[in-house]
């Protein structure tokens, strides 16, 4: 697979989002492990997770533990950059809550370290701004974790341009990634993508197909993606990822998956070349 850079790390141009393997509607563990093994076999070297990717109360870090199990039992596991996040919580009733306090983020990082079985987390990201906590305090916790060697790289998620600039300043120029939602149906993160391109910071689009419930409808909802896919003999999902990759060399999509076939389809987008006319058509979709 072609590669791109996230800070000091070189990763496959298409990563994997682990959330569907741990929240509501998740598959059994055997299928999840098969999905992770398929990703590793296909050359995926970036896997995104979070301590809040779980379904029930009492199973915080379910997805981190699942990924750690897969990596430990696969010959290519040591090649993977695991990106995890802290600052979101799930009480177990289906809701999502926030705690961006430095104290929580540092405790969450310690717990993630134990679940992943590593001395330092490859990429640790502040999951979502907490309106009750000054942003500088939350990002300051990442700076402290960097300085203490508990994380190798720091990123932020669900951030706007002002927060990206603020985080870069607080981290002393060490911000390596921004993870925001971006898809044909959700394009309001274009300014953040463009800013990351200007700053040389990796942009990690999550839910690139529009989210778990809408992914299958991508081609039917956005006809140009289906037309381009038919012309190339590939899926609309491959076209979607190739379109994102063509936007900037800092883009590294992280499509979620819970089936081996989904991963295998997604990674082929790294080799799909779209014409300027096709890209223009998709931009206008």
- The catalytic residues are 53
Q: Are 224 and 218 in contact, with CB atoms under 8 Å apart?
A: no
Task: Compute, in degrees rounded to 10, the torsion defined by CA atoms 42, 46, 47, 49.
Answer: -170
End-to-end CA distance of the chain: 28
Distance between CA atoms of 80 and 86, rounded to whole angstroms? 19
Helix (H, G, I), strand (E, B) or coil at 265: helix
Instruction: Please give the angle made by the CA atoms of 161, 162 and 167, to the nearest 5 degrees.
Output: 100
Distance between CA atoms of 258 and 207, rounded to whole angstroms? 13
Which residue in this structure is represented by tokens 């999951």? 127
């Amino acid at each position: 697979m072609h590669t791109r850079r996230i800070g000091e790390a070189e990763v496959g141009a298409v990563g994997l989002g682990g959330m569907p393997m741990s929240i509501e509607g998740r598959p059994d563990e055997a299928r999840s492990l098969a999905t992770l093994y398929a990703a590793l076999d296909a050359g995926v070297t970036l896997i995104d997770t979070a301590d809040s990717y779980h379904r029930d109360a009492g199973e915080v870090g379910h997805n981190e533990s699942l990924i750690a199990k897969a990596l430990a039992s696969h010959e290519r596991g040591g090649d993977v950059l695991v990106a995890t996040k802290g600052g979101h919580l799930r009480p177990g009733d289906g809701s999502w809550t926030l705690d961006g306090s430095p104290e929580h983020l540092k405790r969450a990082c310690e717990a993630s370290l134990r679940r992943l079985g590593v001395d330092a987390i490859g990429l640790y990201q502040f999951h979502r701004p907490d309106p009750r906590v000054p942003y500088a305090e939350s990002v300051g916790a990442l700076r402290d974790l960097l300085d203490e060697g508990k994380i190798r790289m720091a990123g932020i998620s669900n951030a706007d341009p002002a927060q990206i600039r603020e985080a870069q300043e607080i981290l002393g120029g060490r911000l390596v990634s921004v993870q925001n939602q971006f898809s044909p149906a959700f394009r309001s993160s274009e300014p953040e993508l463009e800013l990351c391109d200007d700053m040389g910071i990796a942009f990690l689009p999550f839910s690139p197909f529009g989210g778990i419930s809408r992914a299958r409808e991508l081609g039917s909802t956005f006809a140009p993606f289906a037309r381009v896919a038919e012309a190339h003999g590939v899926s609309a999902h491959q076209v979607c990822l190739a379109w994102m990759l063509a936007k900037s060399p800092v883009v590294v999509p992280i499509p979620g998956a819970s089936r081996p076939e989904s991963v295998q389809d997604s990674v082929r987008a790294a080799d799909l070349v779209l014409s300027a006319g096709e890209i223009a058509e998709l931009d206008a979709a």
